[in-house]
Structure formats: C-alpha cells, structure tokens
Amino acid sequence: MPLFYFCPNHTDISTPVSILDSPIEYLKGVGPQRGELLRKELQIATFGDLLHHYPYRYFDRTQLNKIADVQPGTNDYVQIAGTLVNIYEEGAGHKSRLVATLYDDTGKIELVWFQGAKWLKKTLKENERYVIFGRPAEFNGYVNIPHPEIEPLSALAMAGGMQPMYPTTEKLRAKGITNRSFAKITQALFEKVSQGDVPEVLPAHLLSEYRLCSRYHALRWVHFPDNNEHMQLARHRLKWEELFASQILIARVRLQHTIQPGYIFEKVGDYFNLFYKNHLPFELTGAQKRVLKEIRHDTATGKQMNRLVQGDVGSGKTIVAVMSMLLAMDNGFQACMMAPTEILAQQHYQSISRLMEEMQIPVRLLTGSVKGKERKEILAALADGTLPLVVGTHALIEDSVLFNNLGLAVIDEQHRFGVGQRARLWNKNEKAPHVLVMTATPIPRTLAMTLYGDLDVSVIDELPPGRKEIKTVHRNEMHRARVMHFIRSEIDKGRQAYIVYPLIEESEKLDYESLMAGFEQVKVFFPEDKYNIAMVHGRQDAPLRERNMQRFIKGEAHILVATTVIEVGVNVPNASVMLIESAERFGLSQLHQLRGRVGRGAEQSFCILLTGSKVSEESRQRMQIMVSTANGFVIAEQDLAMRGPGDLYGTRQSGTIKLKIADIVMDVAILEQTRAAAQKIVEQDPGLTHPAHQPLKNILLAQTHQNNWSKIS
C-alpha cells in the first residue's frame, strides 16, 4: 500500500467507497486474467494502487533513432521508425520465437520476440511501416533488439511527447503487459478519475511554505507530464509526501520515548570511578568520553534513554557499555547485555568478566545452552539482586528470567533482533529500563535519520591509540599461489588466518560446493601434517560449528575456513590475515565487517581481496574503495550510494522503509525539510487532532498498523 493511499474498511457500509478502491480488473484494458497477474506480480489490486505505480523514467517519443547509430552499451533505449519484413517463426515448443527485420534508410536490424510469438505473427503485416521501442543487445556478433514494443507508425502521432516507463516483470511482459500497456491502462484510469477523487492530505500551510503542487496534479503529471517542469514538480511533491510520512511516524515514536518515564541515575559512584581510575585497559578517546557524557545526561533526566552508539570495528564500544553498566550499579540497578549469537555473547562475557575480575563484580552468562543447576543459580541471583551484571542471548527475554531491579539494557547489533524480542526487555521492570543500542555497522547519516530517527545517535569516530591500520590489497586469481605463500609466512611467525567464502541464498548449493572445493584446495597449500585447519559453515550442527570455532579461538587451528557466519563477533587477537575469496560477490559493508575480524592484536594485520580475473566495473570500484580507506562511515556512504538502502540493510523487506519514489541518498535536502516540518507539527499537535491534520492522521493510522512503527527501536 502506498504511503498516502488509505483504503477504507469495506465492511463498514457507512463509509463511502472511493473510485480508487475499485478492483483493478474493472479498468478498461485489464480484465480478470491481467488483474490477477497485476495482483500477484506487483501488488496492484485497485485503481489506487495503479495510480501509485510510478514511472521510473521518461522517454521522449518525438525523438527517432537511425538504425546505423544503434549500438549496445551506447544506447539504453531506442525508438526507430521503419518498414517490417521477413516475419517468421523458428524453433519449437518453449524454444519458439518470432523473428523479423526492420529497415530504414540507413540499414536494417533484427527484432526477436520469445513470448507471444503466435499472437504477434497474426497482428504484424509485412512491408508495413512500424515504430519500435526497445533496448539493443548483441548476439553472435550482430546487434538485435529482443522483445521490442511495436505499433503502427500512425500511433506515434497520437502519443504525447514524454513516454512514461514503468517497473514491470518478465511474467507480465510475457502476457503482453508491457510498458506501453501500463501507459494505456493508466490513461484509461485518468479518464475515470477527477480532482475530487484524489483528496489532499498535506495541510495548506505546508503546500504554501514548501511550494508543493496539489496531490491530484502531482499524480497526473508524474504519469503524463506536459513538459519537464511539470514532471519535476510532480516527482518533488510525491517524494516530499513519502518522506514526510516516515518522518511524522518517527517523530511520534520519538515523542513517546521522550515522555516515557525512566529511572534516574543520580550519581557517578565508586564502581564507575574506581574502574575509570584503576582498571581501564587504555586511555579513553575523546569520542568515548563524549558518548559517556551523553549517556550520563540521558540517564539523569527522569526519562527513558534510547540511544544508539555507532562505532567502527575496534573503536571501543564495549568499554562504553561496561562503564554505563557500572553507572547503573552505582545507582542500585542491575544491567544486562544482549547479543544476537552465542559466540558473540560468550566473547562479550569473557571480555567483561576480565574487566570486572579485579573489582570482584560477579558477571554471569545466560544462553540457551546454559541448563540445569547453573541456570537455576543464575535465575535466582537475578531475582534476588545478588547478580548485578548478566550477558546473554535472547534467552534473557524469556518469561522465566526475572530481574530484581533492571535499570539498563545494552543491545549489541540490534538489527539482528526482531521487534518483539527487543520489546520484551522493556517489561523486565516497573518502568522501562534505559536502552543503549550498539552497532559496529556504520550507518550513513541519511539512513540513520530514517531507520533510527526515534533514537538519539552517538558516534565513536576515533580508534584507541596504538591500533595499527589493516593493510588491504586486491589480488586476482592469477596471484593465488603468491597469496597462499604470504599467508604461510604469517602463520610460520605464529599468527592465524581466516579464509572466507561467499554464501548467497540463491546459489547456496553451488556456494557450498565451492566452499568444500576451496577447503580441499587450502589443504593442498597447507598440508595437514604441519598445519591445523578448522572449517565453519551454516550447514554444520551447532555443537560441531562451536567446537571448530573454539579450536581457532584457542589457537589450536592455524586457519579458519568459513562462510560469512564469522562476519560479526569473532575476536581473535592473534589472527592477522583475512583472505576473502570471490570478493567481488560481497557488498562494501560486508567486506568491511569481515576485514574487522583482524587487526585486533598488536601485530600488523592484512586483508586480501581475491577476485576472478574478469570483474565488472562496479566490483572493481568496490575493491578500490576498500583498498583506499578503512573508515567505515566513508564505506557505508559509498555502499548506500552504490546499492541503495533496501539492499544495504534489508530495510525494504523489514517494513521500516517503504519508498516508492524517494531516494534517501539523492533526496537528502527533501529529507531534511520533511524532518523539520514533521517535528514542528508533532510538537504542536502530538495527537494530530487539528482538523487540518485529520486526513494525515487517518492515513498514518493505517501505515502504523501495517509497519508496527511504535516498536522500531
């Protein structure tokens, strides 16, 4: 459902039904069969859904290309007028296709259709003049145009100047629902829809202040602009509306947090001060001190803290979390840290236990594998308050886990937890405990404003003193022997190495086979009589996977061959080499996360990006970025620009962001405007009760129900 399209409850007969709620099959040119396909393929079920199926670009229908000028790669889409000859079918069954030749005064070009051949053959006539529209390709050294749209040349005179181009799918194209079909059925829709059928949802003062066109004109012009100015006005208005919706929702959730009562941490006491003076493993950076000051301020206000701490791998987030937990203890509260995996929880437990050991502060680990007497002891100590600190997985949120007085919950890598899992921590005391969320995944500012807009954001942007930058190099398959020789030389110095293989869901079987083949290849370079190799992947039973991981952590294995299961949470200071196989198949942020598994000890560390001999320009660009910078925030910004927010953080799938037309990378200025406007409205009218805000409220209620925004954080 589009952000600003609200479908009334059809079961309520008192609610007038808008024409936009009409089933799509009732529109001229659609019908039952096409209607069913549009529902399945693009979730277009009503007239309103079609209205919000926006073009992604426009083509100037007044411009014609000459065949002699057409080249794949240099021409995206072309439009050619010419005479059609040699129409014939070839192949049989599912391999049948229709082939024809189009010629103009500069040359000829082959056209080929793989679907709908019989129907097309009946409609096309030899030696007639046609106009075709499509994307050139190359086959067997010759240029052709597969699946072009085709219509009589006379139709060109009837078409407007700017032809909208719509997102579609292979299945729809196979059934004749092409880009041109979308334009025709959308045109038929506007013959039925008048300005009164498209109510305005933005308050008049916003339309005036931000110079936005009306909603009706925006929708009409986005599909069929009279000129470039109208197209720009329409797209600007619809982007503004879409981003404004997300910012209103975020502002309301944020308001709920700011009025949510929280426990007051009145003092900085002995636990915090003793640790700071005597037990810090290294001097705090300026960034760590700044973040601690922000946490100290939040926990003293009497409102619940909801703060996100971003810090690159190795920036010292754990120390900040530990000192925040000591602050809770100074004020008579318990604290917990929740991690997404047992491995990560164990590592946090080990590092926190070491830090607390000299101060004789008890810390326990609670995960799914902690059973029997040990589990009972931990639960009893949490309930009676004798256990002040606990580290665990989602086992912490089980109903059987009762705290005596939980005041602070630290959540690591929060995007790995479901909404419901995180929310259950809030119910572990009479008031909601303060929440400190940590992530080692640097989040670009534009995305943080949208994804985590309801949280206060802190950034640890300095590395602790003495940390050596990881040397990163890009090598191709031709250099494999030299790469393996280098890894052997590092191991012979007493170091350890990771060798990571991709595992992509769509090709899991093939990837698994290449992992096993890779493991055998590693054994050739590193004979088992001299080197110990452990392997970890998702298909292994959990106990075996854990055993192999522990062999590497304890230094018993020289090499860990793994899939990306080691992306988060493995801390082995002695590991100094990370070899990433088929590095071209990873995104920038994932490469950076993997690289962060080394560089945790005092020795110089290395990351080797090994790719095939032939890689795409985009892959080459990613490798260059990785080699040129170790700054996670720079990398995250580049990744966002290259891949978009949906791919980068799974946000389109999560339901947190559903953007049909706006782009949070390109539309930062609009995002800033909508954020300011949304905050102002919510501050003045938190319940959106003013008559001017009523249309907005109705739509947002539907959107909130759909996306469960109230529990994003």
CB distance 19 to 47 below 8 Å: yes
Provide the 8-state DSSP code for 276. Answer: I
Provide the token pair at 645. Answer: 């927010």
Residue 180 CA to its chain's centroid (Å): 32
**What does the pLDDT look like over 16-70, one tens digit per residue?**
468 988 999 999 989 999 999 999 999 999 999 999 999 988 877 778 889 998 8
Give residue 424's pLDDT band: very low, low, confident or very high (50, 70, 90).
Answer: confident
Q: What's residue 321's pLDDT? A: 95
Q: Tell which CATH classification among 1.10.357.10, 3.40.1160.10, 3.40.50.300, 3.40.50.12500 matches the domain 471-629.
A: 3.40.50.300
Q: What is the pTM of this model?
A: 0.63
SS (H, E, C) 159-181: CCCEEEECCCCHHHHHCCCCHHH
DSSP 340-407: SSHHHHHHHHHHHHHHHHTTT--EEEE-TT--HHHHHHHHHHHHHT---EEEESGGGGSTT---SSEE
CB distance 653 to 702 below 8 Å: no
**What does the pLDDT look like over 309-357, one tens digit per residue?**
988 777 888 899 999 999 999 999 999 999 988 878 888 998 899 999 9
Which alpha helices (H) appear in 16-174, and where do they start and end? 31-42, 47-51, 117-123, 154-158, 170-174
Give residue 656's pLDDT band: very low, low, confident or very high (50, 70, 90).
Answer: very low
CA–CA dist 675, 251 (Å, integer): 8
The two beta strands, 334-338 and 389-392, are parallel
CB distance 172 to 162 below 8 Å: no
Q: Is the pLDDT of residue 508 over 70?
A: no
Q: What's residue 169's pLDDT? A: 83
Q: Is the pLDDT of residue 237 over 70?
A: yes
In terms of average pLDDT, the best of 161-165, 458-462, 621-625 is 621-625
The SS3 of residue 613 is: coil
CA–CA dist 327, 335 (Å, integer): 9
CA–CA dist 238, 236 (Å, integer): 6
Instruction: Look at the alpha carbons of 150, 152, 158, 161 in this order and tell me if their dihedral is positive or negative.
Output: positive
CA–CA dist 218, 512 (Å, integer): 49
Q: Do domains 270-298+315-439 and 471-629 have the same CATH topology?
A: yes
In the predicted model, what is the mean pLDDT of residues 189-209? Answer: 92
In the predicted model, what is the mean pLDDT of residues 523-546? Answer: 88
Q: What's residue 643's pLDDT? A: 66
In the predicted model, what is the mean pLDDT of residues 434-448? Answer: 77
CA–CA dist 610, 634 (Å, integer): 22
Q: Is the pLDDT of residue 223 over 70?
A: yes
Domain 270-298+315-439 falls under CATH 3.40.50.300: yes
Query: What is the homologous superfamily of the domain 62-158 according to CATH?
Result: Nucleic acid-binding proteins (2.40.50.140)
In the predicted model, what is the mean pLDDT of residues 670-690? Answer: 89
Instruction: Look at the alpha carbons of 150, 154, 156, 160 in this order and tell me if their dihedral is positive or negative.
Output: negative
| Total Cβ atoms within 10 A of residue 176 | 13
Structural domain boundaries of the chain? Answer: 1-61+166-198, 62-158, 270-298+315-439, 471-629
The residue count of the chain comes to 713
Burial degree of 141 (CB within 10 A; 0-12, 13-18, 19+) = exposed
Give residue 13's pLDDT band: very low, low, confident or very high (50, 70, 90).
Answer: very low
